[in-house]
């Protein structure tokens, strides 16, 4: 055997590949804004026409519907609001509604006593301080009873086209963490991350699209990853391999 035969044989062997679990995903080198841009583009293609799932005909109706949607499905809220607004169509009428009557109409949305109290108080504020109009200012909105940043962002973005922030609900929270857009669980911190990563002119539609995606594809228990257009770059953080 030639002196360097063993060396030649050794160098001819193919290099060993790292196990698949040791290799980083193709998007590992992408920064947060790069991934966010991909998410925005894919969501826009998948859900070009988006609207708020809560049925409404005015800012006041959407405000009340959003308060009712806490810990409740939009479908259930949409079943309740037609009767609610038929009986009390304006802030003044809602403010004057007997609390027990309000509770009875909204009972099926859950936490109905606290919601009825907030709805009545919020309506009173609108009637007394804002001439029955929903203010177009987030600082004023969040002073209303039962209204936080999420509710304010929903109303201001949907009804007035004002991008004051990003709506963060359970769907937005879940998907943002799976995509690696945030590591937080607190809604305020998640919103700050998304506001930094997503262009402001996309905030309103981005949130609507994330919510639609969370209901249809990226569900809580069994996400339909094989049907998701973002599966090629989604790191699937926290998603079970099964």
Interval 175-205: pLDDT, tens = 999 999 999 999 999 999 999 999 999 999 9
Q: How confident is the model at residue 32 (pLDDT cuts 50, 70, 90)?
A: confident
Q: Please state, rounded to an integer, the average pLDDT across all residues of the chain.
A: 89
Provide, rounded to the nearest whole percent, the portion of the chain with pLDDT above 90: 84
pTM over 0.85: no
- 20 falls within a domain: no
- Tell me, yes or no, whether 92 and 134 share the same domain: yes
- 240 falls within a domain: no
- Tell me, yes or no, whether 75 and 112 share the same domain: yes
- Tell me, yes or no, whether 126 and 174 share the same domain: no
* Catalytic option among 38, 115, 120, 150: 150
CATH of residue 223? 1.10.1670.10
Rounded to whole angstroms, the Cα distance separating 153 from 136 reads 10
- Tell me, yes or no, whether 139 and 71 share the same domain: yes
- Tell me, yes or no, whether 99 and 151 share the same domain: yes
More confident residue, 51 or 242: 51
- 223 falls within a domain: yes
Q: Indicate if 150 belongs to the active site.
A: yes
Q: Which residues have a Cβ under 8 Å from the Cβ of 81 and sit 6 or more positions away?
A: 54, 55, 56, 61, 64, 65, 68
pLDDT of residue 31: 64
Residue 177: closest CA among 161, 199, 162, 193: 193
Q: Indicate if 169 belongs to the active site.
A: yes
pLDDT digits (tens, 9 = 90+) for 114-162: 999 999 999 999 999 999 999 999 999 999 999 999 999 999 999 999 9
Q: Which residues of 32-63 are buried (b: 16+ CB within 10 A; e: fewer)?
A: eeebbbbbbebbeebbeebebbbbbeebbbbb
The answer to whether 71 touches 77, Cβ cutoff 8 Å, is no
- Tell me, yes or no, whether 129 and 68 share the same domain: yes
- 2 falls within a domain: no
* Catalytic option among 169, 177, 192, 236: 169
On the question of pLDDT at 64 being above 80, the answer is: yes
Q: What is the arithmetic mean of pLDDT over 82-109?
A: 98
Residue 197 belongs to domain spanning: 30-47+165-227
CATH of residue 122? 1.10.340.30
Domain boundary among 140, 160, 180: 160
On the question of pLDDT at 28 being above 90, the answer is: no
How distant, in Å, are the alpha carbons of 146, 149, 180, 237 from that of 69? Answer: 11, 14, 27, 28
């Amino acid at each position: 055997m030639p002196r360097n035969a063993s060396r030649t044989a050794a160098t001819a062997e193919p290099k060993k590949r790292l196990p698949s679990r040791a290799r980083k995903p193709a998007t590992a080198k992408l920064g947060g804004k790069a991934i966010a841009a991909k998410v925005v583009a894919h969501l826009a293609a998948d859900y070009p026409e988006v609207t708020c799932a809560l049925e409404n005909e005015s800012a006041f109706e959407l405000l009340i519907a959003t308060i009712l949607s806490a810990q409740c499905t939009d479908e259930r809220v949409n079943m309740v609001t037609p009767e609610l607004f038929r009986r009390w169509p304006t802030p003044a009428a809602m403010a004057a509604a007997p609390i027990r009557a309000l509770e009875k109409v909204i009972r099926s949305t859950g936490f109905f006593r606290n919601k009825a109290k907030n709805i009545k108080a919020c309506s009173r504020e609108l009637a007394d301080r804002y001439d029955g109009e929903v203010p177009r200012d987030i600082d004023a909105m969040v002073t209303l009873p039962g209204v936080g940043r999420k509710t304010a962002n929903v109303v201001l973005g949907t009804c007035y086209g004002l991008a004051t922030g990003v709506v963060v609900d359970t769907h937005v929270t879940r998907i943002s963490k799976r995509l690696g857009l945030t590591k937080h669980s607190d809604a305020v911190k998640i919103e700050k991350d998304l506001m930094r990563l997503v262009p402001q002119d996309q905030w309103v539609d981005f949130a609507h699209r994330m919510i639609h995606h969370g209901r249809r594809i990226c569900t809580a228990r069994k996400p339909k990853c094989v049907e998701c257009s973002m599966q090629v770059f989604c790191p699937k953080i926290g998603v079970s391999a099964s």
